[in-house]
Amino acid sequence: MLQDKDRIFTNIYGLKDKSLKGAMSRGHWDGTKQILEKGRDWIVNEMKASGLRGRGGAGFPTGLKWSFMPKESDGRPHYLVVNADESEPGTCKDRDIMRHDPHTLIEGCVVASFAMGANAAYIYVRGEYIREREALQAAIDECYDAGLLGKNNKLGWDMEIYVHHGAGAYICGEETALLESLEGKKGQPRLKPPFPANMGLYGCPTTVNNVESIAVAPTILRRGAGWFSSIGRPNNVGTKLFMLSGHVNKPCTVEEEMGITFRELVDRHAGGIRGGWDNLLAVIPGGASCPIVPAKDIIDCPMDFDGLRAVGSSFGTAAAIVMDKSTDVIKAIARISAFFKHESCGQCTPCREGTGWMWRVMERMAKGNAHKREIDMLFQVTKQIEGHTICALGDAAAWPVQG
């Protein structure tokens, strides 16, 4: 179990003062200038050594991603883009960070931007997150007033942060679709290569990171890579915000160590399963795009990237949707299929047509109007979508149905 002294997010429930003064009293913005004075290479190497993996679902090593940015500018400006377009059903951690602990994110933007040679950061906020954007903008304004942001600031690195409000499209959570949207175009994913680190926002070198990935960086650099990598399991280190929803007694968002078992996570923080552990049917472990895991496989499974891969699912954003035996699983998956059908951008034919096929078959199954032979046909459709699209939305739509 994670001890309180190791928690990075000290105000995730909004019980304390979220102002700049309150954040500083809890240790944020402490020694930020000294971190920057150690240089770009030190920051990137420390992030690599920490073992932090991206917290947005893919789990790509954060320090390695930062190192892809060009060391010297070729005349083009560098950009940091923070992906706060949190639209995956079951996922709600980033809104808590922006609403209650925004200074972790703002300080992270400064440190990460310096490490990449960027003087501007864009935070792309989900369209429905009105209050979150207001809280974040208020915190940014405080930092400008305090001389922590802007030109000739106290930290010695000229830094501008812009908040951009999305329009509610799930597809804009995909990094290249987000960049298209930020440029004022239709939010449709780009072909890779070129990768954003070479040609991203406005054709300039860009790194796109999740809110949580950026927000934890200053604390890691303050306390050292060794501290962060000592928490959790090898290849799955550090702390993580877990979200527990569905049929638990006390749904919550909680910061815990990677690799904690599902049973311990639920018993310790969510008050157990509704009706007891014998009433557990299945869990979607990391948000709606992850394959469903039966109760017998999930109960003692370590909640991290490798643990959930071993039971045929994925860690995703660590948003566990818990289902007890009152759940109609077919109906639940049909609803998820409807979501992905609605959110497909329509650029790739397998996704545009296949998501509709999957949803219609799942609806017939939920209503009891399907034929047995349609099970094989449905599986074939998922295989024709998976891996045949520009972005991962096709895969995300197929996996729950396969699960």
Question: Which CATH number belongs to the domain containing residue 88 in this structure?
Answer: 3.40.50.11540
Same domain, 193 and 284: no
Using one digit for the tens of pLDDT, what is the confidence trace for 349-379?
A: 989 998 999 899 889 888 888 888 888 888 8
**pLDDT: which is higher, 78 or 387:** 78
Q: Could you give the CA distance from residue 378 to residue 373 in angstroms, rounded to a whole number?
A: 9
pLDDT, one tens digit per residue, over 132-170 is: 999 999 999 999 999 999 999 999 999 999 999 999 899
Residues 190 and 288 in one domain: no
Whether residues 374 and 273 share a domain: the answer is: no
**Do 8 and 23 have their domain in common?**
yes
Q: Which pLDDT belongs to residue 372?
A: 86
Instruction: For residue 289, give the CATH number of its domain.
Output: 3.10.20.600
What Å distances lie between residue 103 and 138, 172, 177, 304, CA to CA?
Answer: 10, 24, 27, 27
Q: Are residues 309 and 344 in the same domain?
A: no
Task: Give the mean pLDDT of 90-103.
Answer: 94
Q: Are residues 212 and 254 in the same domain?
A: no
pLDDT digits (tens, 9 = 90+) for 174-204: 999 999 999 999 999 999 999 999 999 999 9
End residue of a domain, out of 306, 324, 342? 324
Q: What is the mean pLDDT of residues 89-110?
A: 95
CATH number of the domain where residue 394 is located? 1.20.1440.230
Secondary structure element (H or E) that encloses residue 323, with its range: strand 319-324
Please identify, among 292, 324, 356, the residue that sits at the C-terminal boundary of a domain.
324
> Same domain for 184 and 300?
no
Rounded CA-CA distance 38/41 in Å is 8
* pLDDT at residue 85, rounded to an integer: 94
Q: Does the pLDDT of residue 403 top 80, yes or no?
A: no
DSSP secondary structure letters along 50-104: HT-B-TTSS--BHHHHHHTS-SS-SSSPEEEEEEE---STT--HHHHHHHH-HHH
pLDDT by residue (tens digit) across 206-243? 999 999 999 999 999 999 999 999 999 999 999 999 99
Does residue 143 sit in the same domain as residue 64?
yes
* Count of structural domains, the chain: 3
Both 48 and 181 in one domain: the answer is yes
d(CA 389, CA 85): 21
* Residue 59: predicted pLDDT: 85
Domain that holds residue 392: 329-402
Does position 315 have pLDDT exceeding 80, yes or no?
A: yes
Q: pLDDT, tens digit, for every residue of 248-305?
A: 999 999 999 999 999 999 999 999 999 999 999 999 999 898 999 999 999 999 999 9
Percent of the chain with pLDDT over 70: 100
Q: Are residues 47 and 121 in the same domain?
A: yes
Given a cut of 90, whether residue 116 has pLDDT beyond it is yes
Tokens for 257?
């160590």
The confidence score (pLDDT) of residue 374 equals 85
The pLDDT of residue 387: 87
Matching residue, tokens 């923070």? 82
162 and 272 together in one domain: no
Q: Which of 229, 263, 298 is the last residue of a domain?
A: 229
Q: What is the mean pLDDT of residues 19-26?
A: 94
pLDDT at 230: 93
**pLDDT for the residue numbered 175:** 92
Rounded to an integer, the average pLDDT of 118-139 is 95
- Tell me, yes or no, whether 241 and 211 share the same domain: no
